[in-house]
Structure formats: structure tokens, C-alpha cells
Amino acid sequence: MQKNTPYILFLTFVLLLTVSFFLLIKDFLLACFWAIILAVVFDPVYQRIRQYFKNSEILPLFLTMMMIILVFVIPLLTIILMITEESTGYYQKIASGEINPQVYFQDILALVLPKFYKLSHIQAISVEQISASAGNAFTQAVKYIAQQLPALTQNLLNLIVQVALAFYILFFLLRDGQQLIRKLISLIPIGDGIEIELFERFTSVARATVKGGLIVAVIQGSIGGFLFWFVGIPAAFLWGILMIVLSLLPIGSTLIWVPAAIILFLQGQTLKAAIVLAIGILVIGMIDNFLRPRLIGKDSKMSDYLVLVSTLGGLTWFSLTGFVLGPIIAALFITCWDLMGQESQASKRK
């Protein structure tokens, strides 16, 4: 017992220092997380660029960082600014009475509800009640988005610091990532085989989520938003953003463009309804089947229901970061239990 006392004390000291370290950097964990995710996603690109510039160490890093800025940072900032600008404009029009969401929903429901009640035995609810509730919900949603603009401006300095820190960490992760992984595998006292399996699982799910999820979602939502603008549906850009969010989930953007096509058809706008339906099925719907496998490549997938539950849970716990972090946690959870099962079966054979 006495022989183990120094080791137990040392282990306790290490755990206390580890907890203290994470508390020390807790305000910057988000920047560290995104630096790791971007390093995982763009490491193959960096390695490929290095093959063309073997005599330079800085140039491949610089080109990779510039590619990340062009692919992620600039589009993300543009989308955020456009969301706040458009939502602010719509909220001002709603507040001035120029736009009345209740009247808009009332016109739609007046067409849809009578046909629905005729086909079902559900007790009829007045169009005014539903349209008032829907209009208030839409107004509150637009108001909430518009009110985030002052908060975004106030937190601009913190955002700049987080982004700068993420790119600073990303630089070293791209340069020394392979050495760091080997160092971690040698330090973590779990077993090299298990650690390698967990690192590979983390890498595959991160790449699959960002490449096969985010990029496809942005493409689908962008096409959907442009389609809505083309056929004259109000707030087309906001609907496009909503389609991007839904495309991150297995349920997809179908929940937006299918009802839109039905409403246009019920309003007598048959040509516009046919256009929305055709583009939705032949373009937006096929992107998932055509583009996602090519972006993901050999990265592993999880079942749709697990992706849905883990993504929703991640968004609830970690906000926007959760759409990546949720599936990663779920994948590591499954991997750990699989490894435990393999160890158990191996011990039984012995």
C-alpha cells in the first residue's frame, strides 16, 4: 500500500493540473476545437500541396490557410452579415406595418385548411387563430435574429481574437499534427491500438460531418434560396438559410420546398409549383446522392437516426458547434463500446 502511495499522489496531482489547465483555457476551447477540426479536414490538402513544393515549408502552409479562408471564413462572415441585414430589414417592415405576416399566413391557410378538414375528421380550427399564432411566431423569430446584430457588434473584438487564435493554432497543427498524434498515443495510458482506433474514428467523422454535411448543406440551401427568389416567394434568403440548417440533418430541406410547392399549387400558381418541385427533386434532392459520397470518400458513416439524434443533441448543448461535436461524441461512444466488446470476446477465448 505504501509503495503505491507516491504513484497515487502523483496521479492526483496530474489530474488536478489537467483540470486546472482546461479551466485556464476554457474561454478559448472553441477556437482550439475549430482549429483541430479544420486541421483534420484540410490535412490531406496540405499534404498534397507539400508534394508540389518540397523545398518550401512555409508556402504549403500559407496556401492551405488561404484556401481555408476562401472556403470557410469569407462565406461564413458573408452569410452572417446578410442574415442580420435582411432580418433587420424585414423586422423594420413588420414593425412599420408594411409587411403583415398574419395576413400572409391567413391567405395561405384559407386555401389549405378547408381541403385538409374535408379529407380528415379533425375538428376545424379557425383560420384566424392559426394565422395569428404563425404570424406571431414568424415575427418573434425575425425579431430575435435582428436583435443579435448589436450583440454581434459588441462581441466583435472577442470574435476577432477567437478567429486569430484558431488560425494560429491551426498553423502549428498542420505543420506538426502527425508528430503531436504520435506523442499523444505514446503518452495516453490506454493502449496504442485503442488510441489509434479512436483517433481514426474522430478524424473520419469530423471529415464526414464538415465535408459531406456542411458543404452539401450550403449548396442545397443556396440553390433553394435562389429558387424561392426566382419564383417570388417572400424572405427567400431566410428560407435558404433554414434549408441549410435542415440539410445538416437527415430530414433535409424537403420540409421547406415540398410545402412551398404545395402552397403555390393551391394558390393556382401551377407553373411556379412545378418549377419548385422539379428543381427540388432533380437538383436539390439529387445533390445529396451525387455530391455527398464524393466529398466524404471513404470516411465512415453512422446510421441516419443516430446522426439526427446526436446532431440535435449537439446543437442543444453546444449551439452551432454541436452539429460537428454531437456526431463526434456519438461516434466515439459507439467506438468505445465496440472496443470493449472486442476486448471482452478476446478475454473469453483465452
pLDDT in tens, 143-184: 655 555 555 555 667 777 888 898 999 999 888 888 887 887
Q: Between 20 and 304, where is the model more confident?
A: 20
Q: How far is residue 52 from each of residues 23, 63, 135, measured CA to CA in Å? A: 42, 12, 57
Q: Looking at 59-63, 275-279, 325-329, which range is the least confident one?
A: 325-329
Are the C-beta atoms of residues 325 and 318 closer than 8 Å to each other?
yes
Asked if the structure places residue 26 within a domain, the reply is no
Shared domain check, 167 and 196 = no
Domain boundary among 143, 166, 187: 187
For the cut 60, the answer to whether the pLDDT of residue 64 exceeds it is: yes
Q: How many domains does the chain have?
A: 2
For the cut 80, the answer to whether the pLDDT of residue 132 exceeds it is: no
Give the predicted TM-score (pTM) of the model.
0.68
Asked if the structure places residue 19 within a domain, the reply is no
Shared domain check, 237 and 180 = no
Shared domain check, 211 and 88 = no
Asked if the structure places residue 14 within a domain, the reply is no
Amino acid type, 97: G
Instruction: Tell me the pLDDT band of 211, cut-offs 50, 70 and 90.
Output: confident
Shared domain check, 198 and 69 = no
Own/partner pairs, 329-333, CB within 8 angstroms, 24+ separation: 330/302, 330/306, 331/201, 331/202, 331/204, 331/205, 331/300, 331/302, 332/198, 332/201, 332/202
Shared domain check, 327 and 183 = no
Shared domain check, 264 and 127 = no
Q: What is the pLDDT of residue 285?
A: 80
DSSP result, 8-33? HHHHHHHHHHHHHHHHHTGGGHHHHH
Shared domain check, 173 and 234 = no
Shared domain check, 235 and 182 = no
Q: What is the pLDDT of residue 124?
A: 46
Q: Please give the torsion angle defined by the CA atoms of residues 247, 248, 250 and 252, in that order, rounded to the nearest 10 degrees.
A: -10
Asked if the structure places residue 331 within a domain, the reply is yes
pLDDT digits (tens, 9 = 90+) for 278-335: 998 888 888 776 766 566 555 556 776 777 788 778 878 877 777 788 888 888 888 8
Instruction: Tell me the pLDDT band of 57, cut-offs 50, 70 and 90.
Output: confident
Domain boundary among 130, 154, 187: 187
Shared domain check, 309 and 238 = yes
Shared domain check, 294 and 152 = no
140/54 Cα distance (integer angstroms): 56
Domain boundary among 187, 219, 240: 187
Instruction: Tell me the pLDDT band of 119, cut-offs 50, 70 and 90.
Output: very low
Q: What is the pLDDT of residue 123?
A: 47
Shared domain check, 193 and 171 = no
Amino acid type, 299: D
Q: How far is residue 304 from each of residues 91, 215, 221, 308, 320, measured CA to CA in Å? A: 36, 18, 20, 6, 20
For the cut 60, the answer to whether the pLDDT of residue 110 exceeds it is: no
Q: How many of the other CB atoms lie within 10 Å of CB of 307?
A: 22
Asked if the structure places residue 13 within a domain, the reply is no
Shared domain check, 146 and 74 = yes
Q: What are phi and psi of 251, to 5 degrees?
A: -65, -30
Q: What are phi and psi of 301, to 5 degrees?
A: -120, 160
Q: Which three cell numbers stand for residue 275?
A: 418549377
Whole domain around residue 278: which residue ranges?
Answer: 189-350
Amino acid type, 163: V
Asked if the structure places residue 272 within a domain, the reply is yes
With the C-alpha atoms ordered 154, 156, 325, 193, is the resulting torsion angle positive or negative?
A: negative
Place of cell 490538402: 45
